[in-house]
Structure 1
Amino acid sequence: MTVVHATDLEVTDLGTVLVLTLAPEDGADRPCTLGERGLTNLRAALTAARDRAEEGHLAAVVLTGTGRTFLAGADLRAIRAARDETEARRLARLGHEVVAAIADLPVPTLAHLNGAALGGGLEMALACDYRTAGHNVRAIGLPETYLGLVPGWGGCTFLPRLVGPEAALEIIIDNPSRNNRLLDAPAALAAGLVDVVLPGPDAAPADAGAHDVAGAGAGEDVLFPRGSVALPRAVLEWLRQAVDGQVPVARRVERPTGPHPADPADDAEWLAAVDRRRDFVHARAAGGAAAPEHALRAVAASRTRSRAESFAVEDEALVHLVVTDALRASLYAFDLLGHRARRPAGRPEGVPAREIRSVGVAGAGLMAGQLALLLARSLRVPVTMRDLDDERARRGLAAVHDEVERQRARGRISDAGAARLRELVRVTTDVADLAGADLVVEAVFEELAVKQRVFAELEGVVGADTVLATNTSALSVSAMAAPLIHPERVVGLHFFNPVAQMPLVEVVRAAQTDDVAYSTAFAVAQACRKTAVAVADAPGFVVNRLLVRLLGEVLGALEDGTTVAEADRALVPMGLPMGPFQLLQLVGPAVAEHVLRTLRHDLGERYPDSPGLARVVREGRSFVTGAGRPTAASPVDPAIGELFGARRVARPLDAAGLLERVRRALAEETALLLDDSVVAGAEDVDVAMVLGAGWPLHNGGLTPYLDRTGTSEAVLGRRFHEPGVASLPQ
């Protein structure tokens, strides 16, 4: 529970400033959130502050947090506990009561963002007159639509008035859809979200009580209460100057209380910002993600309405979303990504990882270069790529240097950091140059015989303790290791493409992999800030096994006579990041055909052969039109259908029939890989599909979606999860 510590500070030329510090009840170093009790505590503190201000005893009120958090938003446990609309409405209205109490205080108010300000926490800050932020704050935003909610405590009402509708909708809708992108303090300043960025404090023990800061130096901090918080002196000095009008504070429009007067210029900007996002939110809603559409409606509605009317619109949106299975699935997945990332199931307990002082990468192609750069940047050790000839090696190193330069030009690394990376990544054609590596990652052509030859060559030169890893996406790691003298040191480290962006690593334990090699693989994934999922050595592991099964069903339907148009719209209700044809083109038809054939050989005829896909590869055709890397928006080429139809049936599936076929196939394949103990449980399937395949959070990953659609019980006679785990309680 969040409690509120009240401290009076006497500020020269301003008067008594009441600082309300939000802190965990037990004093632990954890992010503060607001449930019903925390909101009640804050409301009580604000009521007392209002009374004192009305009596003339306060000059201003400051809200701040503790540790690395201002406020991390609403307590998701409280949201999950709401079983019906009545409970959801009570929480929504209580949040609105608190932000209204902040906004209506009769003295100037300031929120100092000492740390993360997210969701409902940021909405509390938006209700204040001013906002300051510490220079090192890195997490500011409204992630509600990412989770399946809306900014329902004033965010859709206050933010457009503060920063304008375009910037507000970027924060409310666009950023959450970009893998929950957040703002750091400088970006929040540029957006107009905060008024100034100030140096952060250096906390030190101090006694509670009132403090006179009149004599404090500009660089000193005011410490309170019980030594738990340090408020930068600069915050109070800036507040004094802002109240006196000595520093300019830009505002688009005053916060709404009564109806907003019509302004043609403002209306045009507002309507344009909303219209630009209509197609996007409609598409998300068609895929099962209703939250962005509700948020857009709430922002649009707040254009001319009073604060109370706008709050009522937010209440209705929030109440509607809270009592849906989609939200519960989203919260299940969100919690899962957090704790599974910290403690992946299957990581050896108490087994120290091998110290990595240098790394080798077998290969210098695209994937090898991405791995080399990631490992150099993450582990901060020398990385040597090795390829067969000087030309390949030169191209590989040039590609790494080009990427380093792109990162430097975008401001993601400094000049010094770029120079350091260029020094760390080297290239060679002599395998002996990998002799001193503690870890060598193989990233060569996806053929078993080729990889076996590479490992045999490496074993002849590396040390006895060197860990050998393969980045294979589907081949047997055990088969690669079997011919070696020491197969126990071989492990799978399946990074996804593009390596820098994709957050998942499948850590594959082969038949003879020992605990040290396996623990080292997890440590490397953690150092690279990736989420690791422990998988057994089985064909396709998890992500590719399921994705290829999905694509195989689509291709199989095309061979049966389903039209390209029907197949293209069939999977829209699943809300996937891109359609099957865009995905096939992104993977590459040749790669897709190779993996489909491999899994058909290893797992059986439920992975269908596709003569049409073979023709696509042979004739150099594309599933989509347009040049460049395929995206979700790439138009599908309807003419590609002429290559399929090798097994036409009398009544081919329409879109609804194909969707059902894909769902049933995924339920079957998921059950089979769980029965084979490829992963520890359904939770790992969901982590893998969310992080490795972009499976929607509002689906909870894969298994809650199969439960919610009734597919699990129809195919398997059982659910993957009990009701209430990733759905509304029954």
Structure 2
Amino acid sequence: MADITTPDLPHSRHWRFSLDIEAIGWLILDRAETSTNTLSQEVLSELEQLMDPIESLAASEQMRGLVMLSDKDNGFAAGADISEFDDIAEPEVLRAALERTHRLFARLEQLSVPTAAGIHGFCLGGGLELALACHYRIAVDDDATRIGFPEVKLGIFPGFGGTGRSIRQAGPVDAMQMMLSGRNLRATQAKRIGIVDKLVRHRDTLRWAGRKAVLEKRRAKAAGLTERAAAMGPVRGYTARKMREETEKKVRPEHYPAPFALIDLFEKYGDDPLAMIGHESDAFIPLMNSDTAANLRRIFFLTEDLKKQRQRGSSFKRVHVVGAGVMGGDIAAWCALRGMAVTLQDLNMERIKPALDRARKLFQKRLKKRHLVDTAMLRLEPDPSGRGVARADVIIEAVLEDLEIKRNVFADVEEQAKPDAILATNTSSIELERIAEGLKDPGRLIGLHFFNPVAQLPLVEVVRSEHNSDEAVARGASFALAIAKSPVVVRSKPGFLVNRVLMPYMLGAVERVEKGESKELLDAAAVAFGMPMGPIELMDMVGLDVGKSVAQELGHDVPEGSQFNELVSAGKLGRKSGEGFYRWEDGKAVKGEVPEHADLQGLGRELVVPLVDATEAAVADGVVESPEKADIGVVLGTGFAPFRGGPLKARADGKV
């Protein structure tokens, strides 16, 4: 399909437009000087300028239709440019920007010729809103394609007309669930609910499919009566009420107002997509100016900053894990899930088998399709004899928190490992210098401290000893990024960062329980403050034996006659044994009634003071290089209220 350049087009840095010999217009988004397409104000302004000649070509019948594609390898568009949010957050400026974009997308939607969007890679947020303004959507059906509205994770919801357009295409239930969860869909899922109209197997076929859609004048079908029924008449009020109830099980409206504001908008206008779009900005603008949105943007940028540690040229194909317990087995499974060949070593197959069983469950949950699960299982090889050590690019020790056992493991591993292989320990509290004693090259040993559950918690502490070079630490951070984890570099000091700040928090709450305070009340107060779970429940989750060991390693006293010590002595270790401070059933703590309290959030603030104090001390002691690294490390490693921006940001804001 040869292109014929269209004359008299305005200059554009980010878009390319041409007509081919069949009079099909091709509009290609390729944002200059970036590897990722985002809808900056300049990108939108240039599209606005291009719409004049595009509309003219359509009206004069010189153009039969328009196909929009991306020239970036990683995707269609990642959404609005978040780096501009603070600049346009002023209500009057923001309203003008939103109204301008609404008009622009309406012009695209109202073109007199058919339009199609060809989607590969990620199509998120504002990028999806742009695609929804086209008449038809084609997506590549592969693992890289991800389609969704993640805005709720930034304290807002779709603001470019995506609320009404997604409800029009998918119906209120699926569209609202998509927006309220912020979850990204695979191409097949997006097609099933009507967000995508056609699937193709390869990116190379998007142009052909787009051409066919234009020539056949295809238009997406709106959601049918059955799907729309949940937004009709009095049923909409019931639907909205159920949405609130489900959302309140996950977040509190005073902490995360965006999903509740979206539900309010739906309750008023959910039966009329145009009205919902028309009133979108009224609800959106206060959210953008909220403390929650500002703090969530801060967390986003701090997380993105961690990705800059990726080392060019680093390649990791084979991983060997020593220790098939909960941590070692789950680290091995995660690496296999991320596409690496993994060998898992322990004393015998009997010890390794439970890890393989857990891995299969993880793969089934994440990969769904049987052939993908089977392929992942083939990447995870049981290795009782340790043959994989000699071939591995990364060797991770995850045995018991016993100094001598760890030393013995590395003495053996060092003799067999490739000269350039990373040697890493998953120790949670022991200084690396002590583990490295006796190694021929103690500078090879770094820490890669994962958190339980490995598949859910994004943080990996990359632990640096006094022997490590910058190169060794950089390679460790690159490996963490290669398996889709967020690396925070910490110094080899007792407890590193996360355990150092968590232990005073948990032990402070345990001490209050020892004195007779209600564990249910303390946990409820922490959740009211914004923690994902309370400190007593967390101690049970971690394991009371592990908690006691780490506490003692950090110099905290666990008195002989204390309830804490007696529970450990009795083998009541928390969730893993079925009983600790709480009794556990089906993986959940069985809790009693929460006593009345006049200021639950105030009590929660009181409980987190030791955590914030310890975070400040960690920065002062050089455990992390900056307050920002401390904040993101504690948020990712402990779940500390993201909407507060991190413990040090919360203190600076007077919230602690």
Larger Rg, first or second structure (1 or 2): 1
| Mapping of residues 258-657 of structure 1, within 5 Å | 266-267=232-233, 270-282=236-248, 284-286=251-253, 288-305=255-272, 307=274, 309-343=275-309, 359-375=319-335, 380-381=340-341, 383-387=343-347, 390=348, 393-397=349-353, 399-400=355-356, 403-404=359-360, 407=363, 411=367, 415=371, 418=374, 421-422=377-378, 425-428=381-384, 434=389, 439-456=394-411, 458=413, 467-514=422-469, 517-601=472-556, 611-618=562-569, 620=572, 621-624=579-582, 626-630=584-588, 634=589, 636-637=591-592, 655-657=600-602
> Could you tell me whether the CA contact under 8 Å between 2:17 and 2:25 is conserved in 1?
yes
Secondary structure at 1:562 match in 2: coil
> Could you tell me whether the CA contact under 8 Å between 1:284 and 1:290 is conserved in 2?
no
Cα deviation, residue 533, structure 1: 1.4
Give a deviation string over 1:272-300, Cα, whole Å, max 9, x none: 54333213434623461111112222233
Residue number in structure 1 paired with 2:8: none
Structure with greater contact order relative to length (CA < 8 Å, sep ≥ 6): 1
Residue number in structure 2 paired with 1:649: none
Cα deviation, residue 417, structure 1: 7.2
Secondary structure at 1:473 match in 2: coil
- Normalised to the residue count of structure 1, the TM-score between the two structures is 0.77
| Mapping of residues 23-62 of structure 1, within 5 Å | 23-24=30-31, 26=32, 28=33, 30-62=35-67
Residue number in structure 2 paired with 1:659: 604
Query: Structure 1 regions of 5+ residues with no counterpart?
Result: 203-218, 220-230, 255-261, 642-651, 712-730
Residue number in structure 1 paired with 2:4: none
CA distance in structure 2 between the aligned counterparts of 1:371 and 1:279, rounded to whole angstroms: 35
Q: Which amino acid aligns with 1:232?
A: R
Cα deviation, residue 554, structure 1: 2.1
Residue number in structure 1 paired with 2:151: 144
Give a deviation string over 1:22-67, Cα, whole Å, max 9, x none: 332x4x4532322333333323333444444445544433333322
Distance 1:168 1:532, change over 3 A: same
Distance 1:152 1:614, change over 3 A: same
Deviates further, 521-530 or 504-513: 521-530
Secondary structure at 1:151 match in 2: coil
Cα deviation, residue 431, structure 1: 6.7
Q: Which amino acid aligns with 1:93?
A: E
> Could you tell me whether the CA contact under 8 Å between 1:361 and 1:385 is conserved in 2?
yes
Task: Verify: 1:196 aligned to 2:198, yes or no.
Answer: yes
- Normalised to the residue count of structure 2, the TM-score between the two structures is 0.85
CA distance in structure 1 between the aligned counterparts of 2:478 and 2:56, rounded to whole angstroms: 55
Task: Verify: 1:683 aligned to 2:631, yes or no.
Answer: no
Secondary structure at 1:80 match in 2: coil
Q: Which of residues 199, 222, 227 is equivalent to 1:251? A: 222
Q: Which of residues 209, 214, 223 is equivalent to 1:234? A: 209
> Could you tell me whether the CA contact under 8 Å between 1:382 and 1:424 is conserved in 2?
yes
Q: Which amino acid aligns with 2:534?
A: G
Residue number in structure 1 paired with 2:650: 705
Cα deviation, residue 583, structure 1: 2.0
Task: Verify: 1:71 aligned to 2:80, yes or no.
Answer: no
CA distance in structure 2 between the aligned counterparts of 1:37 and 1:437, rounded to whole angstroms: 47
CA distance in structure 1 between the aligned counterparts of 2:420 and 2:26, rounded to whole angstroms: 57
Residue number in structure 1 paired with 2:640: 695
Task: Verify: 1:20 aligned to 2:27, yes or no.
Answer: yes
CA distance in structure 2 between the aligned counterparts of 1:583 and 1:311, rounded to whole angstroms: 42
> Could you tell me whether the CA contact under 8 Å between 2:343 and 2:388 is conserved in 1?
no
> Could you tell me whether the CA contact under 8 Å between 1:556 and 1:609 is conserved in 2?
no
Cα deviation, residue 92, structure 1: 1.9
CA distance in structure 2 between the aligned counterparts of 1:31 and 1:467, rounded to whole angstroms: 31
Residue number in structure 1 paired with 2:189: 187
Q: Which amino acid aligns with 1:394?
A: E
CA distance in structure 2 between the aligned counterparts of 1:306 and 1:467, rounded to whole angstroms: 55
Deviates further, 690-699 or 293-302: 690-699
Task: Verify: 1:6 aligned to 2:17, yes or no.
Answer: yes
Cα deviation, residue 378, structure 1: 5.1
RMSD of aligned alpha carbons: 3.6
Give a deviation string over 1:323-355, Cα, whole Å, max 9, x none: 1232222112212211222227xx8xx9x97x8
Deviates further, 702-711 or 185-194: 702-711
Cα deviation, residue 497, structure 1: 2.0
Cα deviation, residue 171, structure 1: 1.0
Distance 1:22 1:301, change over 3 A: farther
> Could you tell me whether the CA contact under 8 Å between 2:302 and 2:632 is conserved in 1?
yes
Q: Which amino acid aligns with 1:80?
A: D
Residue number in structure 1 paired with 2:166: 159
Identity %: 27
Secondary structure at 2:85 match in 1: helix
Distance 1:158 1:361, change over 3 A: closer
Secondary structure at 1:61 match in 2: strand
Residue number in structure 1 paired with 2:576: none
Distance 1:305 1:361, change over 3 A: closer
Q: Which amino acid aligns with 2:586?
A: G
Distance 1:567 1:487, change over 3 A: same
Distance 1:519 1:62, change over 3 A: closer
CA distance in structure 1 between the aligned counterparts of 2:635 and 2:40, rounded to whole angstroms: 28
Distance 1:511 1:37, change over 3 A: closer
> Could you tell me whether the CA contact under 8 Å between 2:15 and 2:29 is conserved in 1?
yes
Cα deviation, residue 305, structure 1: 4.4
